[in-house]
Copies of this chain bind each other. A is one copy, B any other.
């Protein structure tokens, strides 16, 4: 400290601050070097932040190139509109209102075809209806004289604006027409208000409509023709993928829990897989929005005109119902108190059988939805799952017996005075068995909830008219069998 003072020429100030304590001011060179350190640090941090950000953005683009393509699609649509604007004959045709076309492209262009159709339809219908209404009210107002006219117009803007805004709180309207209502208020206000100045209200409305139509047309063209992203496909994929994740995480959760020390292979990949159910927990919002947009996509590809999108949401809800239980199961598995290995062993086989049977049911449902065909073996798999549940029940029923035989020696020690008894379990450490019993119980609950998913998928298959795989014909004897039979007859 003393040396430092010497080096900087002993410069030092002391300032007495009101509270009475004194603060040492920094020496000049110290300030400069600190500022330099700070600056260098800031530059380095900014550099690493920018690089990190760039890396994550790059990764996002590589992971889902459709997002990059979407960017380019918007660029193409905008360029097409500006070409429209630059080309004089077209420009003269649609008039100075061509900016509405640009605006339409920017606002209507969405990631999915459903989003584009939803916004395009809403914009077109809202503009048309609000324009018509505004012209009508403007015409009525114009008959009432110059004094009353602005009052009528302002009152109509106030009332319609208030009513339309309130209607946005109604859930069904919010889901399907939210954007349309914004455009309705906007168009009505613009036409009603500007009508006071401009005489050619009808002309204005007609021009706006035609430019908006051009904008919507360009949007849909680019959106559908260049690598289209269908919300319906996305929803379909999301549901099947989530179902697979649920199946995998159920299986690997149980596998991890009952894993013996020897089974170290693939522990990490297991842990990652066992977290898959979390995707199901968090996917409600995206399921809802995609189902909403899928409705706008009408018939396309494998999805018919009235494809039951709401049933997909029910399947999603049934899966989430399973996932809640999986969460609790995960909590038990990672609980601090753990059953001793020897007791775990008794339930190992049955629990793993049940988990793989449950997981098999989910996987079959997933592939049934994916292929849009009824699964033939699903009833059999569900039966198998029920049997596994029964076996687990049986194992639990006989559990204390088994355990007592294992714990023979301590039990005998504890009951010194009753030497005759070999199955006294008063010292049963229930507290250590608790997580094991809970895991078993939750597994049973999960399988019951999986039956709910089965029902939801069955309903979906009925509503969407999944193809039923033709039943195999009664087995006719194979050539080999025929030969064998002949040989027997000959003998």
Contact B423 A420 (CB under 8 A): no
Contact A82 B400 (CB under 8 A): no
- A170 at the B interface (CB under 8 A): yes
Which A residues between 397 and 447 are near B, CB-CB below 8 angstroms? 397, 399-401, 404, 415, 418, 420-421, 423-426, 428-431, 434-435, 437-438, 440-442, 444-445
> How far is the CB of A156 from the nearest CB of chain B, in Å?
10
- Contacting residues, chain B, for A485 (C-beta < 8 A): none
Contact A425 B400 (CB under 8 A): yes
Contact A396 B434 (CB under 8 A): yes
Measured between alpha carbons, how far is A189 from B321 in the docked complex, in Å?
47
- A169 at the B interface (CB under 8 A): yes
Contact B324 A165 (CB under 8 A): no
- A129 at the B interface (CB under 8 A): no
Answer whether A161 and B431 are a contact pair too, CB < 8 Å, given A335-B445, A420-B421.
Answer: no
- A175 at the B interface (CB under 8 A): no
Contact A331 B335 (CB under 8 A): no
Contact A431 B396 (CB under 8 A): yes
Answer whether A186 and B102 are a contact pair too, CB < 8 Å, given A165-B70, A400-B430, A424-B424.
Answer: yes
Contact A103 B186 (CB under 8 A): yes
Contact B106 A186 (CB under 8 A): yes
- A71 at the B interface (CB under 8 A): yes
- Contacting residues, chain B, for A426 (C-beta < 8 A): 400-401, 404, 423, 425
Contact B76 A158 (CB under 8 A): yes
Answer whether A107 and B165 are a contact pair too, CB < 8 Å, given A102-B190, A327-B325, A425-B425.
Answer: no
Measured between alpha carbons, how far is A74 from B168 in the docked complex, in Å?
12
> How far is the CB of A431 from the nearest CB of chain B, in Å?
5
- A237 at the B interface (CB under 8 A): no
Stretch of A23-31, A225-233, A280-288, A354-362 with 4 or more beta carbons under 8 angstroms from chain B? A280-288
Answer whether A82 and B157 are a contact pair too, CB < 8 Å, given A71-B165, A106-B185, A445-B328.
Answer: yes
Which A residues between 79 and 104 are near B, CB-CB below 8 angstroms? 79, 81-83, 85-86, 91, 99, 102-103
- Residue tally, chain A, CB below 8 Å to B: 92
Contact A79 B154 (CB under 8 A): yes
Contact B106 A431 (CB under 8 A): no
Measured between alpha carbons, how far is A78 from B165 in the docked complex, in Å?
12
- A259 at the B interface (CB under 8 A): no
Contact A162 B74 (CB under 8 A): yes
> How far is the CB of A221 from the nearest CB of chain B, in Å?
16
The 8 Å CB contact of A107, one of B57, B186, B285, is B186
Most buried by B among A185, A193, A282, A335: A193
Which A residues between 106 and 162 are near B, CB-CB below 8 angstroms? 106-107, 109, 150, 153-154, 157-159, 161-162
- A9 at the B interface (CB under 8 A): no
- A166 at the B interface (CB under 8 A): yes
Stretch of A12-20, A60-68, A380-388, A454-462 with 4 or more beta carbons under 8 angstroms from chain B? A60-68
Contact with B along A297-337 (1 / 0, CB 8 A): 00000000000000000000000010011011101100100
Contact A67 B327 (CB under 8 A): no
- A10 at the B interface (CB under 8 A): no
Answer whether A441 and B445 are a contact pair too, CB < 8 Å, given A71-B165, A83-B154, A423-B424.
Answer: no
- A194 at the B interface (CB under 8 A): yes
Answer whether A99 and B161 are a contact pair too, CB < 8 Å, given A189-B106, A426-B401.
Answer: no
Answer whether A331 and B106 are a contact pair too, CB < 8 Å, given A189-B82, A426-B404, A430-B399.
Answer: no
- A367 at the B interface (CB under 8 A): no
Answer whether A79 and B157 are a contact pair too, CB < 8 Å, given A189-B102, A437-B437.
Answer: yes
Measured between alpha carbons, how far is A99 from B195 in the docked complex, in Å?
11
- Contacting residues, chain B, for A434 (C-beta < 8 A): 396, 437, 440-441, 444
> How far is the CB of A403 from the nearest CB of chain B, in Å?
10
Contact B442 A328 (CB under 8 A): yes
- Contacting residues, chain B, for A192 (C-beta < 8 A): 82
Measured between alpha carbons, how far is A440 from B327 in the docked complex, in Å?
17
- Contacting residues, chain B, for A61 (C-beta < 8 A): 166
Measured between alpha carbons, how far is A332 from B325 in the docked complex, in Å?
10
22 A-B pairs (CB sep. < 8 Å)? A61-B166, A67-B169, A71-B163, A75-B159, A76-B158, A81-B193, A82-B192, A85-B196, A86-B196, A99-B193, A102-B193, A284-B285, A325-B327, A331-B445, A393-B431, A396-B430, A396-B434, A400-B430, A418-B420, A418-B421, A437-B441, A438-B438
Q: Which 5 A-B pairs have the closest CB atoms?
A: A71-B166, A328-B328, A75-B162, A324-B327, A438-B441
Given contacts A78-B158, A423-B425, A437-B441, 4 further A-B contacts (CB under 8 A): A75-B157, A76-B158, A331-B449, A420-B420
